[in-house]
Structure 1
Amino acid sequence: MPGLLLANVAVLLTFDGEDRELQNVDVRVADGRISEIGDLEPQATETVIDCSRLLVMPGLVNAHQHLYQVGLRCIPDLERILLQEWLKGLGQLCMQWWRDGHFTPETIATMARAGMVESLLCGVTTVADQHYYYPGGVTEPYLEAIISEAQAVGIRLNAGRGTMTYPRSEGGEGPDDACQSVDEVLRHSLELIDAYHDPDPLGKIRIDLAPCGPHVDRLEVFSSFAEIAAENPGVGLHTHLYEGVDTQFCRRRYGRSPWQVIGEAGWHNDRVWLAHMVDCPRGEIPSYAAAGVGLVHLVAPDLRMGFRPAPVRAWLNGGCTVGFGTTGSASNDGCNQMGDLRLAALTHRQHSPQPENWLSARELLAMSTRGSARCLSRPALGTITPGAGADLAAWDITTVDRVGVHDPVVGLVLTGLSDRADLVIAAGEVVVQDGRCVSVDEDEVAAAARATLPPAP
């Protein structure tokens, strides 16, 4: 792999142990890692990239995504309804696609490819995807297709084998026409780990075990997944929690909170990260920190569903590991993580009269890089320090839409006509250059996705 020298970086956000912010500095990339930071001389074998106009930071880590939903944006009937009805409507649409022959691995692949390219273009270099929809309860190679696209696009992927195993007809809240047996889920999960999982700290593909939630999954799945993860280094555990519907179900079905329920299944440890958490009890926050679980803030979809924003300040003050994500495009309508950071910065001000409780730009960027990487148990990502993975994203801070910005870090979050990154490097390879994806042709990706989409509902 040829080396790179990022020369004369205008502003470098390291998110290292000291949160150093450096100016007019060089960064050397070799063998897929950060090699050196300082005043460096170019080597004959490396490519020099002028970064004198750029703010460079670690690539963003999207800690919660559903890439199959890229083809399900802005569905008219789903625009203004609450979560319970939205879930029902989304499921009906997916089943209709499946019956009509449109919900196929090939369709999922083209949607995932488009979502990955969109992610790269806003500076995301690692995506944690959770694919949970298996229409008819049939195991098709949907996740395998997503993995293949990640390898082609050049993005790191935590591929979550999602599940729904507790159908309504048997007392759960999973759709009867898309639930699978526990045995089938476990069989396929082990097959995926054997075929694709790379436990190396810089592995480009990891397999995670990701039941959809305790309201649609049997506790046997949670406990079995916990046992599998404990036996396979680098395999993480991920689920939705405290998203309203599961909270009510767990109280009614088990007489306990969702956190207590998954804890009894072995999910109180640092291999676990949890998405949404909008109605989590404040009194449980110390136990989240003590267990070492990661918590993922998903501001855009939570607001779209009418929820108040999650208590992120309380999480941070309580010592929790906090990451950031977008969830799927059916409830976010995009993969733009940088844009969602701006939304989070403003939204949390509305819900607290004390400015000290507002989330700062630096806190949000730290959540979206180092924090998300820690949620995924990937400490070699989300930071710029010698030995870390060479995942970097950069934006031009000298453009007309950033004239007058006195703090370029705050300006990155709060200003700009576009969140499109100028330069993105993933695993030491340039994947976005001059604001265009170069690992694949983004125009061809968009055209292929549009050609694959079934007719609008």
Structure 2
Amino acid sequence: MSILIRNGYVLYGENLEVVKADVLIEGNRIVEVKKGINEGADTVIDATGRVVSPGFVNLHTHSPMGLLRGLADDLPLMEWLEKHIWPREAKLTREHIKVGAYLGALEMIKTGTTTFLDMYFQMDAVAEATLEAGLRGYLSYGMIDLGDPERTEKEIKEALREMKAIEGLNSERVHFVFGPHAPYTCSLALLKEVRKLADEHGKLITIHVAETMAELGKIQERYGKSPVVLLDEIGFFGSDVIIAHGVWLDSRDVSILARNGVTVAHNPASNMKLASGVMPLQRLLNAGVNVGLGTDGSASNNNLDMVEEMKLAALLHKVHNLDPTVADARTVFKMATVNGAKALRLNAGVIKPGYLADLVIFDFNRPHLRPIHDIVSHIVYSANGNDVETTIVDGKVLMLDREVLTLDEEKILNRAEEVARELS
């Protein structure tokens, strides 16, 4: 199968050079980007007045949590979790979670996300929905043992079961990731075993780290050190580790993350909504840490719109640092694309021959996106996910002219409402 995208403004290469060009896709790869490509293609898309952009990589989310969107807002993190989210999650069945995964996949396709790193449970169900939707999914089972040795063994068995089930799908788009929830919910025995298993099976690891001051206090009281120092001392870190949040990091923590090649997934909307704090973005970038962007779950965001997340990231760090030059549009755009792809060891996030054909097309024929002075700036500061018109993943069109081709949108929305009633 081949796709030819004609006459668009293309964000080309690592430097996001804006070129008026055609893009030719064969199979799942970009093969040519230039003006006036004359080759035939199975699908031809006219991108006149439109922008061809790399697809977005959501580096931290809990996609089935869309079912809990708006359930409990304006609360501190632990109260939100313990009194509202965890009790409701205890009622979730595998079928419920799969409905939530379909809802999340639908939202991501419609807002330009092509790849996501997920953490939840019953991830084999999420994998099935992801496969059908056509997205790239890196899926982790959230392991929590609370220091109980029996539960440690149980969580490891469940993670390995999930890994086997997901690998059994035999898909290049859907991958298993080890996902211990956080240092304050996982024993050192579990964390050490995860490190060993990740090395043994060649898998990535994702984990929540230093999200709140309360978490920092718990780890300090229990171990006498920061979560980052703790994980470093047990040999947990490596370039295969992606930590979510990284809000409460001191200079020593930043240095440790840089030395180990750890990626940090920044979640500005969730961090602001839960009043968790502001991650030290500029210090991380200055230290050479790879920083990606994520939405967190849509129960704490409350959406999965990566385009909106870019604007929030840019604005948050400008006002926090009282410096309008911090978190400029291109830096934030790269966080949402190539930096996330790098963390996942994925040859994507860039429009260039040889890269995976994970692209989105923005409709710039809209009042809030004209006149066109700076396309990257417009996407970060003026656009939102609903301006995405077409989504292509792995060389396949998932959405064309705002119509999702891989999922039944009406059926998913109706079923999500039914599940919400069942959980109430």
TM-score (norm. length: structure 1): 0.88
Partner of 1:176: none
Aligned length: 423
**Partners of 2:208 and 2:364 in 1: CA distance:** 36
Q: Give the alignment partner of residue 161 of structure 2, picking from 158, 177, 191.
A: 191
User: Deviation at 1:403?
Assistant: 2.3
For the residues of structure 2 that align with 1:456 and 1:268, how far apart are their CA atoms? 38
Residue equivalent to 2:263? 294
Q: Which residue of 2 aligns with 1:391?
A: 358
Secondary structure of 1:345 counterpart: helix
Q: Which amino acid aligns with 1:111?
A: G
Does structure 2 retain, via aligned residues, the 8 Å contact 1:198–1:204? no
Aligned partner of 2:110 in structure 1 is: 121
**Which position in structure 2 is the counterpart of 1:71?**
67
Q: Which runs of 5+ in 2 are unaligned?
A: none
Question: Paired residue for 1:367, among 322, 332, 335?
Answer: 335
Q: Structure 2 residue aligned with 1:345, among 304, 314, 317?
A: 314
CA distance in 2, matches of 1:199, 1:293: 29
Which residue pairs with 2:82 in the alignment? 88
Kindly state the Cα deviation for residue 393 of structure 1 after the two structures are TM-superposed: 1.0
Which position in structure 2 is the counterpart of 1:154? 134
Distance 1:403 1:199, change over 3 A: same
Letter in 1 for 2:161: E
RMSD over aligned CA atoms reads: 2.1
- Structure 2 distance, partners of 1:305, 1:438, is 35
Q: Are positions 1:263 and 2:262 aligned together? A: no
Tell me the amino acid that sits aligned with residue 118 of structure 1. E
SS in 1 for 2:67: helix
Taking every aligned residue pair, what percent have the same amino acid on both sides?
26
Q: For residues 59 and 274 of structure 2, what CA distance do their matches in structure 1 show?
A: 19
Structure 1's 417 and 248: CA in aligned 2 closer, same or farther, altered over 3 A? closer
* Equivalent pair of 2:166/2:174 in contact (CA under 8 Å): yes
CA pair 417-314 structure 1, distance change in 2 beyond 3 A: closer
Which residue of the other structure, out of 307, 330, 346, is the alignment partner of 2:276? 307
Note if contact 2:308-2:384 (Cα within 8 Å) is conserved in structure 1: no
TM-score relative to the length of structure 2:
0.94
Contact 1:397/1:408 (8 A) holds in 2 = no
TM-superposed CA distance for 1:456, in Å, is 6.9
Q: Distance in 2 between matches of 1:231 and 1:198?
A: 18
**Structure 2 counterpart of 1:275:** 244
Inter-partner Cα distance in structure 2 for 1:84 and 1:348: 25
2: CA distance between counterparts of 1:163 and 1:15?
A: 38
C-alpha displacement of 1:423: 0.9
Q: Give the deviation of 1:85 after TM superposition.
A: 1.1
Residue 91 of structure 1: how far off its partner (Å): 4.2
What is the Cα deviation at residue 161 of structure 1?
1.5
Partner of 1:382: 349
CA distance in 2, matches of 1:161, 1:180: 18
Letter in 2 for 1:231: E
Change (3 A) 1:182 1:251: same
Q: How big is the shift at 1:146?
A: 0.5
1:420, 1:447 → 2: CA distance?
24
Residue pair 1:117, 1:153 contacting (<8 A) in 2 also: yes
Q: Which moved more, 1:408-417 or 1:79-88?
A: 408-417
* Unmatched segments (≥5 aa) in structure 1: 133-141, 171-178
* Structure-1 residue corresponding to 2:152: 182
